[in-house]
Amino acid sequence: MKKTYFVLLVLITLISCQKDSSQDELTTEKPTLIVSDEQKTTYTGGLLQFFGSIISDTWEDKNFQGVRTIKIIYKTVDQDNEPIEASGMLMIPESIEGNEPLISIQHGTLSEKSQAPTNSVLGTNEFTLGCLFSSIGSVVAISDYVGYGHSADQKHPYQHKENTAQYTYDFLLAVFEYLERENIPTNEELFLMGYSQGGQATMALHEKIEEESQLTVTHSMPAAGAYNITQFTQEILSKDEDLEFIGSYVWVIEVYNQMYTSLQRPLDFYFNEPYASQLSQLEEIDKPVNLSLISPNPQKLFKKDLIDNILNGTDKVLLDVMAQNDVFDWKPSAPITLFHGTTDDYVYPSNSESAFAHIQTQGGDIRYVPLEGMNHQQAIMPYFLEASKIIFKE
């Protein structure tokens, strides 16, 4: 009986040891961010060469190859730091050799949710540029952002620095996870770029990457972004003229007012009538507000008390919220090249000028390329073409 008891005790001990070992193995497994991935359209080199030649005569002689696109659904967090699934698009050249860099493109402001990269086709927005950059020799990642694509049922936290940085960063981690799983090599260079909202997102992502220290940025090239929200706000409220972009700025104000518990003020705190009432009738503000609902002149649209308190610095709560979303005064380790049209009347060049001055003062490696005589729309393609020269060392 004692012998039987001893044998049972040994078996129990062995089983217990095996369970502990298995648990140890489980705890050492790398957490996965990828929920699912799906190969979408593959574009031929000939088709991409056609689009490339339309964009620029200088691209006619480039060697374009086919590109396959992969939609990735990944884990991130929402504005309340609650788990959420989001999506993005990955572009991979068909004949990848391992000497290609990874480019993370952050897209600009979307006027409709249907414009998300994972909903796009060749010939539209940054999706097309991503395919072209991949076709001439790179792996390209473009996040939809929370609020678009797979997470279209969520409100997009427009121009919110912390959220933007988090979900673009998580998408990059998911991309690296996919590349490792599929044994797809790159040359370990990581470039960041984006225009307008994408410029601000690129700067926020760059700062996040350097804070986390898991990835290394080779070079970031943000363009025409609202890096200095505080100063930009003061400039807007100082204007007594019609501003084409004011609908986007109203969206920014509404997002901050909804997200920050220190605010959450009624709309008539910010806006004059009838605009406050007309805005309150909207089910939600999740895109640039139609100018038929508001005055494009800030002096007519916004309450005089609000304007005065922002300009004289007495609305410290709102100014503090603005400052939390500024991304112009920090010291990067990787080089930054800023681009901005000198006649941009949508996102004022002062955003890039202040970022350049402050980051340079901090000791950062930064360069500023003014795109002479170009407004917000005119500077888009020249920016992407100039940035491509940095990436591909032309």
User: Rounded to the nearest 10 degrees, what angle do helices 316-324 and 304-311 cross at?
Assistant: 70
> pLDDT tens, 234-277?
999 999 999 999 999 999 999 999 999 999 999 999 999 999 99
> How large a percentage of the chain has pLDDT more than 70?
92
Predicted local confidence at residue 20, as pLDDT: 41
Residue 54 and residue 82 in contact, taking contact as beta carbons nearer than 8 Å: no
Among 289, 324, 359, residue at a domain's last position: 324
Q: Is position 22 within any domain?
A: no
Round the CA-based radius of gyration of the chain to a whole number and report it. Answer: 24
User: Rounded to the nearest 10 degrees, what angle do helices 229-238 and 316-324 cross at?
Assistant: 130
Residue owning tokens 């678009």:
148
Q: What is the pTM of this model?
A: 0.91
> pLDDT tens, 333-351?
999 999 999 999 999 999 9
Confidence grade of residue 15 (pLDDT, cut at 50, 70, 90):
very low
Q: Tell me which residue range forms the domain holding 289.
A: 229-324
Predicted local confidence at residue 22, as pLDDT: 39
| Token pair listed for 323 | 């400052």
Predicted local confidence at residue 279, as pLDDT: 97
Same domain membership, residue 187 and residue 39: yes
- pLDDT at 184 exceeding the cut of 90: yes
Q: Is position 21 within any domain?
A: no
> pLDDT tens, 44-78?
999 999 999 988 888 878 899 999 999 999 999 98
Confidence grade of residue 30 (pLDDT, cut at 50, 70, 90):
low
Same domain membership, residue 258 and residue 280: yes
- Give the least confident one: 10-14, 141-145, 205-209: 10-14
Predicted local confidence at residue 29, as pLDDT: 59
Average pLDDT over residues 349-364: 98
> In the predicted model, what is the mean pLDDT of the chain?
91
> pLDDT tens, 289-347?
999 999 999 999 999 999 999 999 999 999 999 999 999 999 999 999 999 999 999 99
Same domain membership, residue 342 and residue 222: yes
Any idea what the CATH number is for the domain that residue 273 is in? 1.10.260
Same domain membership, residue 361 and residue 303: no
Among 277, 297, 324, residue at a domain's last position: 324
Same domain membership, residue 302 and residue 337: no
Q: How far is CA 300 from CA 121, 235, 273, 304, 334, in A?
A: 40, 15, 9, 9, 43
How many domains, in total, are found in the chain? 2
Among 269, 289, 324, residue at a domain's last position: 324
Q: Is position 4 within any domain?
A: no
Q: Is position 60 within any domain?
A: yes
Same domain membership, residue 367 and residue 287: no
Any idea what the CATH number is for the domain that residue 192 is in? 3.40.50.1820
Same domain membership, residue 51 and residue 101: yes
- Dihedral angle sign, alpha carbons of residues 260, 262, 264, 265: negative
Same domain membership, residue 363 and residue 320: no
Same domain membership, residue 137 and residue 54: yes
Predicted local confidence at residue 56, as pLDDT: 85
Predicted local confidence at residue 356, as pLDDT: 98
